[in-house]
Each structure stands twice: as C-alpha cells, then as structure tokens.
Amino acid sequence: MGLIAILCLCLCTFAARELGHSAEVRGFHSIDAARVALDAPGGTTGCPPEWSSLVAARLCALGKLTTLDGGAQDELRAVLGDLACVSEVGEVRVIWPDGLQVEVRLREPVACVQSGSDYIPVAADGTLLPGYWSAPPDFGLGLLPVLGPGDGAFDLALAGDVLQEARHQNALSVAVSMREHLSREEIGRVGRLLIDAGSAHLASVSEAGTRLKLEQRRLVLWGRVPRSMAPGELPEAQKWAHVMAALGYLEGPEATDWDLVDVRWDTATLRPR
C-alpha cells in the first residue's frame, strides 16, 4: 500500500507539472493587471469610485502578470500596500487559470480636512486618504466632520500625509469619539460640523478649550479632548448626550432656538438665541 501511495503521488506531480507547462505554452496563466475590480462586502459603502480608479491605475502599470510567478505576486502586494487607502494586504490567491484575488483592509474615513475649496478624507490613524470632494463627504455613517480651524494648513496636502500638529490630532480624537457614540441618524441631526481644537490644551473652568461649530452659527463648548485622558473630565458619552439633547430643543411645536451650549458639566448650559 505504501508503494502504491508513492506511485500515485508521483503520477499526480507529473500531471500537475505537465498541466502547468501546457497552460504556460498556451498563455492561460497570463493576467492583464488592467482588468481589476475592487469589491467591498455589502456593496460600495466606504469604498468610493475614486479608490477603485486609483487601484486600477496603479495595477495597470504592472502590465502582464502570471499565476506561475511568485515574484510578480509579491510585487502586486507591494503596490497595493503603498496605497494610502489600504492599511493591510493579505495573501494572494490564484484563481485558475488567469485570475488573482487579494484581500485588502481599507482605511475607514472618520473626518476630513479642507484643502483649498475641496475636502480630503482622513482615517482614524491620521492618514490623509485619496480623493477630493467639493463638500464634506458622507461615508456610510453621515457627513464627515471637518478638522478645523480651516486656516489653509492643508492647501498643499497629499494623500498619504499624516496629521502632525497636536490641534489636528486633538480634533481627530473628537471625530472618532462622535462615530463611536452616535448613530447614523444622530450624526445626521448634527449635520455639517467643524471641530476646532486649537485651544484644547488650555481648557479650564474659564477657557472652553475645544469648540464644535455647527450649522446656523451654533457653538458647542466641548472642553478637553478624549485623547487628553484628563481626570475628572465628563465622559464623552455624556457630552454627546448633552449635544443631542440641545439639538432636541430645536424640534417640535415648542422649539427653542439657541446659539451656544456648554456640555462640559453634569448639567449642560444652553443660551437661547
């Protein structure tokens, strides 16, 4: 039985080698890197067409690949890994005879920055992502908040750049907090938002620190940012609950308009307009 098993294995190996040689001769192993599709689970949410076009353009430069060349597959993984929108590249899987499948983990936009008259999305790790939008884009959970103060700091920014200044990193931590604590419906009620954390490091009883600028010139005094980990600071969830309660005053038959709410304390302070 042992001899038979060895013989069968040798025959299988010989057949596989001949099949591979036949495929190589006929060109079945050849892959056109320009024929590429970026498929996201559950549809295209979080995977904008701009990213698909970028992936296609970069892979097109590789020309012809082959399922029989491990070096070409490594080059494919390297090209994908260099894209700012990709955070992780998995193994390459051959789809016989002329296809390759690669699982990639995309960075999720959680905020955006203004660059001239356009907006560039930003991931939670501070990486600027590919693409320009004429207004803050909606990536599944609602409009992305803008990292302020909007003073032209990103006019020359490019995809792949990483946030360096503390004021932008602080503002980003508030944006991440919002997506962690609010639903899509609640983020929709917040609407267009700019987070100005330029004075976050000065937050005190008399200094509001971070400010959230909403539509209709409404202002939220936020205090210290989540990443400060300051003792005694009101929990983020409670601050966002104060914001949603303040937005509730704008609704209903007895709606009350306001232009400022201070969410730094156990009981929020609201100033009617």
- Which residue reads 């690669």 in tokens? 102
Per-residue model confidence as pLDDT tens digits over 82-129: 999 899 998 888 777 667 788 888 899 999 999 999 999 999 999 999
Residues in the chain: 273
pLDDT band at 163 (very low <50, low <70, confident <90, very high): very high
CA distances from 28 to 31, 68, 70, 162, 191 (A): 8, 10, 16, 42, 53
Per-residue model confidence as pLDDT tens digits over 1-59: 333 333 323 333 333 344 344 444 444 456 666 667 677 665 544 577 788 888 888 87
269 Cβ neighbours under 8 A, 6+ residues apart: 261, 262
pLDDT number for residue 1: 37
Per-residue model confidence as pLDDT tens digits over 203-256: 898 899 999 999 999 999 999 998 777 777 899 999 999 999 999 999 988 889
Summarize the confidence of residues 182-208 as an average pLDDT: 93
Alpha helix positions (H), 121-213? 166-181, 184-190
Contact present, 258 and 271 (Cβ < 8 Å): yes
Residue closest to 127 by CA, chosen among 161, 79, 164: 161
pLDDT number for residue 67: 60
Contact present, 136 and 145 (Cβ < 8 Å): yes
Backbone Cα Rg of the chain: 26
- Residues 124, 115: Cα–Cα separation, whole Å: 18
Read off φ and ψ for residue 24, nearest 5 degrees: -65, -40
pLDDT number for residue 153: 95
Contact present, 192 and 111 (Cβ < 8 Å): no
Summarize the confidence of residues 66-85 as an average pLDDT: 80
User: Could you state, in order of their start, the residue ranges of all structural domains in the chain?
Assistant: 22-106, 109-272
- The strand ranges marked E within the chain are 30-32, 64-66, 86-95, 99-106, 109-115, 118-123, 146-147, 194-196, 210-213, 219-223, 258-262, 269-272
pLDDT number for residue 76: 82
